[in-house]
Amino acid sequence: MHLIKSTIAIVALSLLPYSSPVYAESNIPPEIEKMHAFLGLMQEFYGIVNSMNQVSADPTQAAIMQMFKIQEIYEQKGKKAEAAEIFRQVLKDSNNPTLRNAATFMLGDVLKDSGQKDEAIAVLKKGLNENLKRAQ
């Protein structure tokens, strides 16, 4: 990670003379434009890696991301309703309010989209009641 930061800093410093408003864009050599584009990509990549490290280090955030990915894959397979069992299992197994809220939202969404609107309302109301009790 330190190597990536150092590389970005070195490339950024080498581009500094070309960032001056005095230096017209038409005077920028193509190599510098390529370096500038590369620097932008490296910064985006570093941001993604950093975000993934933060999510991976937090079990709650990681579990929520995994639930989203599971739902996404089921949706791509045309079987989004099958993700409901995953969310029900999370609600059964977890006492973590953040995980329970995410699973409740996602289960409600899956049920609504699969035509089970009454069950979706019941699940969401149960989640609301849990939150109201915790908020007192």
- Note the pLDDT tens digit of each residue in 26-59: 677 888 888 878 788 777 777 766 666 676 678 9
Taking only the tens place, the pLDDT of each residue in 81-116 is: 999 999 999 999 999 999 999 999 999 999 999 999
SS3 47: helix
Q: Report residue 95 as tokens.
A: 């006492």
Cα gap 31→43, rounded to integer Å: 18
Cα gap 10→61, rounded to integer Å: 33
